[in-house]
Structure 1
Amino acid sequence: MRYKKRKYFMAGRINLLQRSKIRELFEKARKMKNVISLGIGEPDFDTPGVIKDAAKRALDEGYTHYTPNAGIPEFREAIAEYYSDFYKIDVHPDNIIVTAGAYEGTYLAFQSLLEEGDDVIIPDPAFVCYVEDAKIAEAGIIRIPLREENGFRVDPDELVETITKRTRMLVVNYPNNPTGAVMKKQDVKALADIAEDYNLYILSDEPYEHFLYEGAKHYPMVKYAPDNTILANSFSKTFAMTGWRLGFTIAPDQIIKDMIKLHAYVIGNVASFIQIAGITALRDSRSWAGLEEMRRTYAERRKIVVKNLLNMPHITPFKPKGAFYVWAKIDPELDMSSEDFANWLLEKAGVVVIPGTAFGKQGEGWIRISYATKKDQLVEAMERMRNALSEI
């Protein structure tokens, strides 16, 4: 069957969205041979077997039907227990909604809190979905720069200067994608105080919370500003469950009710058997043993990448304390934009890296390297990069 050519009229909001440069480069690389991807941030580990077995049992036990919109009560209780056990935070299950990954959680937050006339402050650089979510919500977008000299953390003084009477929400994401930066306790407290003083909501996106190095710690924003925080989290990174699309959001009473209302019309509920597997992920020690293995492996790979980059010409890494990315600066003397450099490296060395401008204008002059890649491929990619850069 072939469709006749005709003119289609699309909703204007769709034309505002930009396709992810991360995906564009990834798809370009797929058409090439002998390419090593250090692009998309996806764990190369398999989901722990105990979690997969739990999903299989749940299917056999009949978990194939609708659940409450907010999620299975026992699962929400398990999430609340997790925050109590790990962080000594008292979260009520009624303030939790189970979402299709942290992606849906951020989308629900933008749609529930923002509209035309509101402004949202989004760091620059930042993960790609925040700006696009703001566009769909018809909100004004204010970018606040993350600076190398400040460890790519939000500067509280600069934040205060950015706030206006239209400002309704601030987005933070630590451990950070793309820079690998983490926030110190005083940073979190300072942002929490500002949110309370200026009546702002903070959307805190925290899927990399367990990937920390050199003694770094994670401080959930909800602990310090519970009445102002919408916390989005995911099972994708912690338990290598990217394809399962399982996450959750914690928010104050009225906001969580509004998010559940919208969620009911977007997806209804996350698949029931996947929620049952989520309970096992949180409560079974074997799931956490898998995380420890991942963390040790990423710590080793991080050292490999940083050490190699320090010994290459024309590129300088920012040493990350979290996530599984290295944010690296391109030598200005090369006179190449981030995008040109990424394309040059793909053509010259067969290595995929992400141009910094995929994450905002402040990313110009930088690239993101993911080390969620097998060690032998990572070593080979570093050698290819070194050889290519040495020829310039």
Structure 2
Amino acid sequence: MKVKIHTLFQYLLETTEADPEAIVGFSLSQSPKLGEFLEALDPELPLDWNGKSFRGLPRLRDHVLRETGLAGICDPDDVLITAGAAEANYLAIMQLLAPDDEIVIETPGWPQAEVLAKAVGSKIRHIVRRDDDGWRFPMERLAELVNERTKIIFVTNPNNPTGQRFSEDDLMALVEQAKRVGAWLIVDEVYAGLEWEGSRSSSIAGMYEKGITTGSVSKALGLQGLRTGWLICRNREFVMDAIILRENSSEIMNIMGEVIAEVAMRPERYRAAINKARSDGLANLAQLDAFVGEEPRLSWVRPSAGLIGLARIEARIDGDAFAKRLLADPYRTFLLPGSAYGQPQHIRIGVGGGAEVNLELGLSRVSDLLTRVE
């Protein structure tokens, strides 16, 4: 099995040392500083594993169940703390998927599942969201794709990268299609908690015995560097299989990630952090929405959740070339081309990062370059 690099990661590798002055489309909330947690940390904390459970700190797992709305539905032992949602997705997909299986993946969507499925050699069936249809998930198409060979249905909610959401009826329809053939249903919820319209969606682990919820503190709380996430599933055999697979990769969770994440997810701190992230995001979203509305060479479907969205760029403009020219002097502004998500006629823009990303400066430079490209 060889894991091949994805276009998104390739672009990030190529541009790591660019040192941009502004970022348009930062994908996580403004990150807090370590000093904000020092008073809550024990200087005598042993820098070994947590010493309590291979599933992660019990209090942290309790916090996860509370914030995902699964307290009282799922048990703490249904939760496995992982090295971010990326490891949670990895453990689920690599433990479940075999070469003779099929996996249904939305596009555009988070590319990890497709990278892993290709490495396994499984058949991939795409369900396509289109911007001229509001990036809607075509549920009617799902019934045509799912069959007795379907092992996994993998989606994101809110959708990464379009910011669109599943309704409760949509989630029930996903469950019905998965149940029909006995497939596993993985829903990556890394942007949950940042809904601009309505309340947080139900987590799939509480709706279906073979439903797997994955998430992390990376996006909404801006704690990407902790590498702390989770998977939740009521199938105990699956969770133990994931623990065994993790034993042969990251082995056990990093204690600093667990401890700081537990502090960050304490009810009073979590609520304050989410409220700030939502307030900052909504302000930036209003600015971004107005910007797109005034740019004749851009259009988009406004995200209903999350920190990023895809904007369509005028057909004559090459999205990749535009992003690379924008990153170079004199603009020095970073954004991801839509080709990272299989959408070459789009660019990724967004509202994360707080004041440090210099969004207003970045938008002015995007506007200037749009007037100059042919």
- Aligned in 2, Cα 1:69/1:216: closer, same or farther, shift over 3 Å? closer
Report what 1:24 is aligned to: 11
Return the match for 1:386 from 367, 370, 374: 367
Choose 167-176 or 348-357, whichever is displaced more.
348-357
Give the superposition deviation at 1:277.
2.8
Report what 1:359 is aligned to: 341
Give the superposition deviation at 1:254.
1.6
Return the match for 1:37 from 11, 23, 33: 23
- Report the residue type matching 2:45 in the other structure: E
- Describe the SS at the equivalent of 2:358: helix
- Report the residue type matching 1:127 in the other structure: W
Check if 1:165 corresponds to 2:148: yes
- Aligned in 2, Cα 1:94/1:181: closer, same or farther, shift over 3 Å? same
Report what 1:62 is aligned to: 46
Report what 2:321 is aligned to: 340
Contact 2:289 2:302 in 1 (8 A): yes
- Aligned in 2, Cα 1:340/1:17: closer, same or farther, shift over 3 Å? same
- In structure 2, list runs of 5 or more residues that go unmatched: none
C-alpha distance in 2 between matches for 1:214 and 1:72: 33
Report what 1:205 is aligned to: 188
- Aligned in 2, Cα 1:385/1:170: closer, same or farther, shift over 3 Å? same
Give the superposition deviation at 1:135.
2.6
Report what 2:332 is aligned to: 350
Contact 1:182 1:321 in 2 (8 A): yes
Contact 2:308 2:351 in 1 (8 A): yes
Contact 1:204 1:232 in 2 (8 A): yes
Give the superposition deviation at 1:273.
3.8
C-alpha distance in 2 between matches for 1:247 and 1:130: 17
- Describe the SS at the equivalent of 1:328: strand
Contact 1:309 1:315 in 2 (8 A): yes
Bigger radius of gyration among the two: 1
User: How many positions carry a matched residue from both structures?
Assistant: 369
Contact 2:301 2:311 in 1 (8 A): yes
Contact 2:311 2:348 in 1 (8 A): yes
- In structure 1, list runs of 5 or more residues that go unmatched: 1-12
C-alpha distance in 2 between matches for 1:23 and 1:139: 23
C-alpha distance in 2 between matches for 1:304 and 1:280: 32
TM-score, scaled relative to structure 1: 0.86
Give the superposition deviation at 1:169.
0.5
Deviation per CA, 1:154-197: give whole Å up to 9, x if none.
22210111123321101110112111111111111111111112
Give the superposition deviation at 1:345.
3.3
Report what 2:311 is aligned to: 328
Choose 119-128 or 275-284, whichever is displaced more.
275-284
- Aligned in 2, Cα 1:300/1:22: closer, same or farther, shift over 3 Å? farther
Check if 1:308 corresponds to 2:295: no
1:1-392 to 2 correspondence within 5 Å?
A: 13-14=1-2, 16-22=3-9, 24-25=11-12, 27-28=14-15, 30-31=17-18, 35-46=21-32, 51-54=37-40, 56-57=41-42, 59-62=43-46, 64-65=48-49, 67=51, 68-83=53-68, 86=69, 90-215=73-198, 217-225=200-208, 227-251=209-233, 252-332=235-315, 334=316, 336-347=317-328, 349-360=331-342, 363-375=343-355, 377-392=358-373
Deviation per CA, 1:325-373: give whole Å up to 9, x if none.
12101112x1x3332332243347432221112112xx13111113213
Give the superposition deviation at 1:228.
2.0
Give the superposition deviation at 1:280.
2.4
- Report the residue type matching 1:236 in the other structure: S
| RCO comparison, higher one (Cα < 8 Å, 6+) | 2
- Cα-Cα RMSD: 2.4
Give the superposition deviation at 1:115.
1.0
Deviation per CA, 1:114-139: give whole Å up to 9, x if none.
01111111111112322112233332
Contact 1:52 1:277 in 2 (8 A): no
- Aligned in 2, Cα 1:310/1:269: closer, same or farther, shift over 3 Å? same
Deviation per CA, 1:81-129: give whole Å up to 9, x if none.
444xx46651111211110110100000011100111111111111232
- Describe the SS at the equivalent of 2:265: helix
- Aligned in 2, Cα 1:239/1:31: closer, same or farther, shift over 3 Å? closer
- Describe the SS at the equivalent of 1:108: helix
Contact 2:82 2:229 in 1 (8 A): yes
Contact 2:49 2:253 in 1 (8 A): no
Contact 2:311 2:346 in 1 (8 A): yes
